[in-house]
Every structure is written in C-alpha cells, then in structure tokens.
Amino acid sequence: MSAKYKLKKWVRSYGYFTSQIMFLLVAVFALLNALSTKKALESVEHSYQVLADIESVGNSFGHAEASQRGYILSGNSEYLDSYKSSLDDLKIELQNLKDRVADNPEQLARVVSIGGILADRITLLDLRIREKQTGNVEIDALGSTAAGNTLTKRLRLHLEELEKVEQSLLAERKQIRESSTEQSGFVVVLATLAAVLLGITSRQIIKKERDDNYQQAKLTSMIIESMRDGLVVVNEEGMFTIVNKAAQSFIGTDVKNILPKDRAKAFGMRNPETNELFDSQELPLARAMKGEHVHEMEVIFKNKLHPDGVLCSVTGMPLLNEANEVTGAMATFRDISKRKATEQEWKIARQAAIEASKLKSEFLATMSHEIRTPMNGVLGMSTLLADTKLNSEQFEFVNIIRKSTQSLLTLINGILDLSKIEAGKLSLDPAFFDLREMVSDTVELFRFAAAEKKIKLTMNVSFESGLGVFGDSDRLRQVLVNLIGNAIKFTEDGEVTVTVTNSTASTGKQKFRFEVKDSGIGLTEEEIQKLFVKYGQTMSGVKKGGSGLGLLISQQLINLMGSHIQIESEKGTGSTFWFEVEFEVSKAEYCVVPARSLSSEVFKGSVLVVEDQKVNQKVISSILARLGVECSLADNGQQALELCKSHSYDLVFMDCRMPVMDGYEATEKIRSMPTWKDVPIVALSAEGASGDRERCFQVGMNDFVSKPIEMPVLLNVLKKYLKSSQNQIDENALKQFDEFSKDDDLVLVLIDEYKKAYPESLKQLFEAEKAGNLKELNEVAHGLKSSSAALGMVKVAEICQWLEDAVTPSKQIKSRMQELELEILSAVRILTELKTRKA
C-alpha cells in the first residue's frame, strides 16, 4: 500500500473528526492566549503606575524639601503647612508604591530602603524646623545641611534606580505582550486554515466515495440485471431482496412476498430424477440459509412460464457477516437443457464410435484369420515345391512366391497384433528365459544382412549367460528385431550397436536398458513426432518400403511391459532407440529355449496330425515326411480318438476347430485314456489369440502352434518333443580340444574366432555369386568348410563342400547359400549351448 493511499485512507476515515478537534483546540488556545495577553497588559499598566508612583514620591519629596527650606529661610508658617501636607502625601504615596511593588521582592526591597532614607531625611528636616522655631539655627543660604544634602542625593539615586528597573521591566513586558500577541495570531490562523482544509478534503473524499459507491451500485445492479444466469438474494428472514431479470424469466416477477416454505410449489421446482416437487427444505436457498454450499444441483422449473419444464443447474451459497453468521443467501441458476441435450448426443456418438472401432478391430482380426488360412496352403506348398526338381527360372519364381508370402504374413501378423492391442486383447506371456542368449540370437539373425551392407554390427551385453529373466521373450525379441532391422535398413554405411545393460531397480527387480544405436540417416524432430502415429511413416520410411506398423507395435508392446521406446536422433548422424524394462531375475533353471530353425534336422518318431483341411494335411505331412517323421492323418477329433485307441504316437498335432468333434473335446477324451497321460499334444490354431491358447492348456495340451505353420516353429516343437536322429554337430570332433584347453575353453575361443570370421566369408560368397565368379566362390567355400569342419559342424561343412564343388552357375547356389547362413547360425548356437551346458 503506498504512503499516499494510506494518507488518503486516513483522511477519509479521521479527517473530519480531526478537523473538529483542531477547531476546538484553536478555540482553547485562543482563549488561553487572550487570558495571558490580558495579564501582560495588566503588568504593563502596573509598571506605568509604579513609574507614576515613583514620580509622585519624588515630586512630593521635592515639594516637602522646598516647603521646609521656605520656612527655614522666611519663617512663614504657610510653608510649614505646605510641608506638612507634602509629608502626608509622601506617606500615602510611599505606602501606595510599597503596595504596588509588593509582587516584586527586589523592587519592594528598594522601596523599603527608600522609605528608610526618606524617614532619616524627614527627621533631619523636622530637626531644622524645630531649631528654627527655637531660633537656634545655623544654616547656609540654601537652608540645608551637609548631612541633609547627602541623604537627599542618596534618596534621588535610589528613586532613579527604582525607576530605571521599573522602566526596563516595562520594556520587557511590552515586548512579551507584543510577541505573544503576534505568535498566537499566527498559530490561530494557521491551525484554523489546516482544520478547514482537512475538513473540506475529508468531506470531498467522502463525497467522491459516495459518488463512486453510487456508480458502483448502479453498475452492479446493471450487471446483475444483464446476467444470463438467474440470480436471487434473500435476507435473514429468507425473503427475496434481489431477483434479476433472468431469474424472473424462471420464477416470475411477483415473488417478493412468497414465503420460503411455499416456493417449491409456487415456482414448480421438481426433482429431475423423480419429477416430484421438491420439499422446501431441500431447495438450494433453504440449504444455503443453513450455511451449506450447494453446487450445481439440477432442478426442473415447471410453472406457468415454462409449462414443459426447463432443466436448471442451481448453485446456492450462504452470505456471512464478519462473525461468520448467516445473514442471508444467494442462488444462481442456469438453463442447462441445451447442454444436456448436447451431452446426450455426444454420448451416443461416442458410443457409436467405440462400437465402430470395436467392429473394425474385430473385422481386422477376422480378416487376418481368414487370410492366414489360405496362406497356409501357399506358404507350405511353395516350400515343398522349392524342393522338387526345378529349372533355374522355376526355382526363382518359387522363391519369389515364398518371399512374398512371408512378407504378407509379416504384415498380417502386424495388423493382427495391432488390432489385438487396440481391442485390449493382447497380453504378455511371461516365462523365464536367458536374456543374453535371446539378445545374442537376435543380433546373430542380422549378422549377414549387416555384413552385406558393410555395416559393423556390435553387441554389448553387460551380463553373462545364465541370467534368467521373467518376461515375454517372443514379444521382446519382436521389438528388438524391429529396432535392429530398422537400424540396418536406414544405415548405408557405418555401424549398428546393440547394448543391453542392467541395474537394480528400486522395486528390487532388475532394470534392463536396451539400446539400438545406428550411424544412419537419422531423424528430424518432426519425423520423431510422426513415428509412433498409426500408419505414420517418414518419407525415408516410405522410400525403404514397409508397412510402418513395426514401430507402432513395438511401442505398444513395450507399453504393455510398462515402459516406452524413446528416441534420440540427429538428422544425418544417426539415431538411438532405447527403452528400459524391469524384469524379475533368477539364476535358477529356466525353461523356455528360444525357437530356432534347425533345417534338415532329421527326427525319429511317429506323429498324428489331426486336421480337417486337406491342404493343411498335405502341407504338414509332407514337411514331416521330409524330416524323417512317420505321419498319420485324421480328419477330425472323432477319427483321432479312434486312432489313439489302437495306435501309439510320440506326438499329436491337433487342430482346434474341426467338424464332428473339435480339438478341445478330443484332447480331453484322449487325456482320459490311461496310456495317454503324458503324450505331447500340440494345438494347431489359425486364431493366434491368447484366449485360445489358455483353453488349449486347460484341456491338457502341451504346446501351441499358430497357422500358417512356419518352419522354425515346427522344428522347434519337433526338437522339443522328438528325438533327433542326426546330430548337426560332431561332438567327437570337439573332444580332442579338451586336453588343449587351459584356463579357458578352447572350443569357446574357436567359436569366437569363427563368429568373427564367418560374416566376411558369407559376404564374399554372396558377392562372388552375384558377380558369377564361381572360382572365387569355390575357394571361399573351401576356406569356410575347413573352419567349420574343425569345429565339427558337419552340416555346414557339407553345404560348403557342395558349394566348393559347384562348377556351373545355377539358382540353387543362392538358395544353398541362404541355407548355409541359417545352418551356421544354428550350429554356432548349438555349439555355445553345448559348451555352456557343460560348464
């Protein structure tokens, strides 16, 4: 608050009062001053009288002395009479003077001493007169004596002094009188002026305030009247004091005399839920009068003004004085019927949108499923076709079919995933798995693709194998595959680094940070914004091909894991995609072995395939036959049940949905037979939904494969449940290394060397093939064969031998090379597994 404002406030509050006090003070002052002036005047007067007295004493004394001298000189008795009368005067005058100066001890002392001298002088004068009368006189011509003259001189001196002192007193008093009169006049004028000014100012301020208040009141009243919301105010008795126009439009104009208890009825205030009249006590104003704040209570006004009723939202609040006592209440009400109607429309529209979105998701899921079924045939048959005798052109065509089908399948899986995520149907399926192994396998998948683009692919994992984490390894792998795939796709030259580090989270779990860093084209801020938008793709993404679903799905999956993917990127220098996920960890045994292709692996055992569709029967039985597995077929659950009664199988593939008897029922029946308790039954389902999966496990199935069946998945199942007849690795070849192992395991050292070397060899192979340089191809294959054979990789060495022997160009060379790549990956993994298991 500024000093000026404070002053103004003070003047406004106390100014008038102060001015009145000041007037009073001035009056008192003037009175006192007048009294003191009178006193001063009196003292001046007094001084004059003293002076006059002194003069008359002097005169009388002079007169007495002259009369005495006259008598002495002449002897005339007339002089004697005059002398006597002068002495009488002198006596009286001296007494007067004495009385006059009684208030001044100094002067009094002087008068007293003058009296003394005078008495002595008179005694001398009298003595002379008596001497005259007796005739015994000796006097000078002046009739005086020496002693008499001395006394007269002294008397005169004293009188002069007395006069002098009185004169100075008089001067002093005059001075005092004048100055006090001057000062007091000044003070009185000034104080009066100030008091008048103060009084006027305070009056003015108060008047201005009064005007302002009036304006304010007028403005407030205008505002209240122009409000679109109804406003009513009631006093302590609950009677209306303000009812604005808007309020009148709801409750009418003539309302001031309606008692509070009659209002519900008079205004037709009804409960919107029951459409009954409110009890008067329930009304907002009545409640506000009890000190309650009523917030947006919905009330219907149904009266003459609104025969159809109008829905209002009423807010009431008590009006309180400084002591917090209720002195009235106010209420506002607003017509909300339009808003309600809009809300209702919006609700319906929203419901419809949700419905539509759900239908869309369901449609997508159904379509994906419908498309997957025929694709099973395409994929399976083209796989089989590739293994028949084909000329090079035909072989190329088949390969294109397979590749196209594969990418279509990837796309459909993406759409299915996305629609499941949107429908909230995708859930994680956690189990313990070896995280390092999983990451390492995933990175290995890209080893060749990276080498082909001359990209250095590096993996840094801060922990060793054997750390089991509890999570959904398939979904995590899907994310990593997507991120690494993108990194390689968008990097032309440079490096891609996959880093996984762990730390202990506050929850006691382990926090893992996954980071895929590339030195590729990078992203602008705008592009990053678009990345996770559905079907959003950057221009570079469009150029490189792809659906744009991958990142979105990855993000959603990581969201499901309670985190999200983040991006740091700079256009032209590369990008880092990273996320942090928390997992429970265990050093104990974990059960999920990552799925991995082991093509050309040959198994032993007999398998029953229960499948109603002939095409699918054909596909699966052909693949199984190629893998050396004896295969029986059943068209439905009923047939399967019959077969199980008379035969024994090492493994059953069971379609879930079949005519006559479905897979679930058949499984339950099969499981009820005594010798069938432990035989593995694997579900075949085109749904791929986790709900199905749960049901499968409930009825006693061991595993779950979604259709169309993909080779790696099938092989993994076979590997899990059937015995292998042929080892991919010649373990005997490895035994001889044992004695040369020192602190380290020589085989592991060799595997490391092998891992470092083979991507380069593969790259050279593909380059030689592309260039049609068969001699070079033979040589590289020979070198790779040597290394592979040393590590007991029988199957790899066999393919290398085939390539080494190839002397005429053919399309098959390339497919053998692709097979070689897979074989190497799998052989390296098996070798590592063998060694770590031993350790």
When the beta carbons of 782 and 835 are compared against other proteins, the nearer one is 782
22 or 797: CB nearest other proteins: 797
773-805 exposure pattern, b = at least 16 Cβ within 10 A, e = fewer: ebeebbebbeebbebbbebbbbbbbbbbebbbe
- Which amino acid belongs to residue 263? R
Nearest CB to other proteins, comparing residues 395 and 754: 754
- Letters for 60-99 (x = contact with other proteins by CB under 8 A, - = none) are ----------------------------------------
Site string for other proteins, 387-406 (x = CB under 8 A): --------------------
Residue closer to other proteins (CB basis): 238 or 783: 783
Q: Supply the minimum distance, in Å, between the C-beta of residue 816 and other proteins.
A: 18
The only residue of 789, 806, 830, 834 in contact with other proteins, by rule CB under 8 A = 789
Nearer to other proteins, 236 or 779 (CB): 779
Diameter of the chain measured on Cα atoms: 205
Which residue, 556 or 787, is less far from other proteins as judged by CB?
A: 787
- In the complex, minimum distance from the CB of residue 451 to other proteins, in angstroms, rounded to a whole number: 16
Residue 284 or 792: which CB sits closer to other proteins? 792
> By C-beta, is 407 or 736 nearer to other proteins?
736
Q: How far is the CB of 776 from other proteins (least distance, A)?
A: 10
* The 3-state secondary structure of 502-560, one letter per residue: EEECCCCCEEEEEEEEECCCCCCHHHHHHHCCCCCCCHHHHHHCCCCHHHHHHHHHHHH
Minimum CB distance to other proteins, residue 765 (Å): 14
Q: How many residues does the chain have?
A: 839
Measured CA to CA, the distance from residue 388 to residue 117 in angstroms comes to: 176
Residue 626, CA atoms < 13 Å, CB-side half-sphere: 18
Gap between the Cα atoms of 359 and 631, Å rounded: 41
**What is the Cα–Cα distance from 791 to 797, expressed in whole angstroms?**
10
Binding test (CB under 8 A) with other proteins, winner from 276, 506, 587, 740:
740
Smallest distance, other proteins to C-beta of residue 577, A: 33
Q: Shortest distance, CB of residue 749 to other proteins, whole angstroms?
A: 6
Q: Name which of 68, 114, 109 is nearest 87 in CA terms.
A: 68
Distances (CA, A) of 253 to 221, 225, 305, 333: 16, 13, 11, 16
Look up residue 729 and give its DSSP letter. Answer: B
Q: Give the nearer residue to other proteins in terms of CB position, either 535 or 740.
A: 740
Instruction: Please check whether residue 552 is in contact with residue 415, taking contact to mean a CB–CB distance below 8 angstroms.
Output: no
Beta bridge partners of 461: 500
Shortest distance in whole angstroms from residue 808 CB to other proteins: 20
Report in angstroms how near the CB of residue 741 gets to other proteins at its nearest: 9
- Dihedral (Cα; 80, 86, 87, 91), 10-degree rounding: 170
What the block records as the tokens of 650 is 């090492």
Between CA 547 and CA 680 the distance in angstroms is: 38
Q: Which residues of 600-617 are buried (b: 16+ CB within 10 A; e: fewer)?
A: bbebebebbbbbbbeebb
827: left (phi over 0), alpha (psi -120 to 50) or beta: alpha
Stretch that binds other proteins, among 86-94, 409-417, 579-587, 785-793 (CB under 8 A): 785-793
Query: CA torsion 598→601→605→609, rounded to 10°?
Result: 60
Query: Distance (Å, rounded) from C-alpha 561 to C-alpha 556?
Result: 9
Which of 790, 806, 830, 834 touches other proteins (CB under 8 A)? 790
Dihedral (CA of 109, 113, 116, 122) sign: negative
Work out how close the CB of 743 gets to other proteins at its nearest, in angstroms, rounded to a whole number: 12
Contact between 736 and other proteins by CB under 8 A: the answer reads: yes
Q: What mask, x for binding other proteins by CB under 8 A, covers residues 796 to 835?
A: -x--------------------------------------
Min separation Cβ 563 and other proteins, Å: 40
CA dist., res. 698 & res. 681, Å (int): 12
- Minimum Å distance from CB 831 to other proteins? 12
Cβ-based nearer residue to other proteins, 592 or 746? 746
Q: For residue 246, which amino acid is it?
A: A
Between 69 and 785, name the residue whose CB sits nearer to other proteins.
785
Minimum CB–partner distance for residue 787 and other proteins (Å): 4
Closest CA to 548 of 450, 405, 414: 414
Work out how close the CB of 767 gets to other proteins at its nearest, in angstroms, rounded to a whole number: 14
Is 69 or 447 the residue whose CB approaches other proteins more closely?
A: 447
- How many angstroms separate the CA atoms of 46 and 681, rounded? 146
Q: Site size for other proteins, by CB under 8 A?
A: 22
Closest to other proteins by CB, 401 vs 751, is 751
According to DSSP, the β-strands at 510-518 and 468-471 are: unpaired
Pick the stretch among 49-57, 78-86, 488-496, 790-798 that binds other proteins (CB under 8 A).
790-798
What is the SS3 assignment for 793?
strand
Closest CB to other proteins among 304 and 756? 756
Kindly tell me which residue out of 20, 573, 786, 810 binds other proteins, with binding defined by CB under 8 A. 786
Which residue of 66, 737, 818, 835 would you call a contact of other proteins, by CB under 8 A? Answer: 737
Nearest distance from residue 751's CB to other proteins, in Å?
9
Three-state DSSP state, 658: coil
What is the secondary structure of 407-425 as a DSSP string? HHHHHHHHHHHHHHHHTT-
In degrees, to the nearest 5, what angle opens at C-alpha 514 toward C-alphas 513 and 515? 115
| Shortest spacing between CB 754 and other proteins, in angstroms | 5
Q: Min. distance of Cβ 598 from other proteins in angstroms?
A: 22
Site string for other proteins, 704-733 (x = CB under 8 A): -----------------------------x
Nearer to other proteins, 478 or 761 (CB): 761
Member of 791, 817, 824, 825 binding other proteins (CB under 8 A): 791
Cβ distance to other proteins smaller for residue 233 or 748: 748
Site for other proteins, residues 745 to 784, rule: CB under 8 A = 746, 749-750, 753-754, 756-757, 779, 782-783
Site residues (vs other proteins, CB under 8 A): 733, 736-737, 740, 746, 749-750, 753-754, 756-757, 779, 782-783, 785-787, 789-792, 797
